[in-house]
Amino acid sequence: MVSVFLEQPVFLLGIFLLSGYSISLFLEKFDIPHVVSYILTGFLITNTLLRDINVSEELEDWIVLFENLALGFIGYKIGTELIIKYLRKESRLLTMLLIGEAGGAFLVVFGIIYVFSTNLLLALLLGGLATATAPAATIEMIRKLRSRGSLTTRIQWLLAFDDVLAVILVEGILVYLAVSLGGSVTLTNYFIKLAREIGLAVVIGIITGFIVNGFLEYVSLTNVQATQITLAFVMLDIGIAMFLHTSVILSTMTIGVVVANLEGNEHKKSEHLMEFLISPAIMIFFILIGVQVRFSDFSPFPILALVYLIARTMGVIVGTYLGASAGNVENKIKNNLGFGLLAQGGVALGLASLANEILSDAGEIELGRLVITIITISTIFSELLGSYGIKFALTRAGEVNKENAADLQFTSERGGIT
């Protein structure tokens, strides 16, 4: 029976899509975020229909393809939300908050994981991954609560910028990982590889971004045509980045930054339709993450996943409090900001998958699987924890519209992108 699925990839793809949509619609009634639903879908499929095969080997090409597509689309989405004019408004405060949030998450997770595992590479990777958040779920909760105020504004600003910092930080760690696993590490070969990885990706993204903007601004296009052109160039950029062995997510993120910040904001023509076109690829990616997790991975239970979740929660809350204190903001922001940034999703999963690929290529297969398992399990809980956290923070800060919030239910993450 299993061979039928593998010999008919379109059939298997249909099963993935139908199962993903069906399970997410069902779990939506219980306020389960879509990212969690997709991961659980993959977990159920691999432990039933595909339980007799080595999924990582048999579906390796699928995993690589959808990993790069998802990373590229997620990167583009992050870039379009990075509006530079917002950074100029309160650049010092935003910098302090970003340093506090990311620094707290990284240092606490790195220190605690290193104490528990004594594995420097694992501690570095998980520390870097801890700095990423899940904007979609948090923004959806803010919208549903109809929240307004200074805390709501600061949370939205941080969500727009912190994943950029997370991507750059993790890319630097991945370069160190690749260099260290490939031989001796020196400052020279590390910075040469880092400059190539980041610099080349940014240059490709800038060139592609200006070309995309030229089409959107100077060619008369309908919304559908604008979406098709944008999607085509983003996919072309993904392919070029893969061919040149540079960062896919940084390259497409740069495209998003360019088209979102050039005058005219013509990218708005394609923004809504892009969500519909890219969501199936991202869904398949999350399902494939779940497919790589077996029941055997829970025997014994990976305690490090809970350690990571607790450490990240502590790091984010304490770090943002210190950053807000250094920025001299009002008490309601200092005391509540960290609780609004606890959700973690697509960005962390995408970067974890990339780390797993590098580790597997270097022969560190078990370490790669451990990273995927830890981030997958912690994502399920952090998405749920994040929903409660943001509501708690906004309610305690008095920024919830009480006339509309009395009968609100926790909502799922629409589209499951980040």
Query: What is the model's pTM?
Result: 0.80
Assess if residue 410 is contained within a domain. Answer: no
Assess if residue 262 is contained within a domain. Answer: yes
Quick one: pLDDT at residue 409?
Answer: 39
Q: Would you say residue 417 has pLDDT above 50? A: no
The phi and psi torsions of 246 (rounded to 5 degrees) equal: -120, 180
Q: Would you say residue 415 has pLDDT above 50? A: no
Name which of 306, 379, 382 is nearest 339 in CA terms. Answer: 382
Quick one: pLDDT at residue 411?
Answer: 36
pLDDT tier for residue 4 given thresholds of 50, 70 and 90: low
Please give the C-alpha separations between residue 186 and each of 125, 179, 180, 197, 203, in angstroms, as whole numbers.
Answer: 19, 9, 9, 16, 25
Q: Would you say residue 402 has pLDDT above 70? A: no
Query: Residue 239 carries which side chain, given as an amino acid letter?
Result: G
Question: Is it true that the peptide bond before 135 is cis, omega within 30 degrees of 0?
Answer: no
Assess if residue 412 is contained within a domain. Answer: no
Under 8 Å between Cβ of 51 and 5: no
Q: Which domain holds residue 134?
A: 2-405
Rounded Cα distance between 332 and 288, Å, is: 41
- Tell me the two tokens of residue 90: 């309160």
Q: Would you say residue 404 has pLDDT above 60? A: no
Under 8 Å between Cβ of 150 and 330: yes
Assess if residue 418 is contained within a domain. Answer: no
Higher-pLDDT residue of 338, 418: 338
Q: Give the CA angle between residues 94, 97, 121 to the nearest 5°.
A: 120
Quick one: pLDDT at residue 48?
Answer: 84
Neighbours of 14 (CB within 10 A): 11
pLDDT in tens, 172-213: 888 888 777 766 666 777 777 788 888 898 999 999 999 988
Assess if residue 9 is contained within a domain. Answer: yes
- Tell me the two tokens of residue 330: 């009002």
Report how many domains make up the chain.
1
pLDDT in tens, 118-139: 898 899 999 999 998 877 667 7
Assess if residue 297 is contained within a domain. Answer: yes
pLDDT in tens, 263-319: 665 566 667 778 788 888 888 988 988 888 888 777 777 789 999 999 999 999 999
Q: Would you say residue 416 has pLDDT above 90? A: no
Q: Would you say residue 406 has pLDDT above 60? A: no
Segments in 222-364 forming alpha helices (H) = 223-243, 248-261, 268-291, 303-326, 331-336, 346-361
Assess if residue 46 is contained within a domain. Answer: yes
- CA–chain centroid gap for 378, Å, is 13
Assess if residue 415 is contained within a domain. Answer: no
Q: In CATH, what number is assigned to the domain containing residue 398?
A: 1.20.1530.20
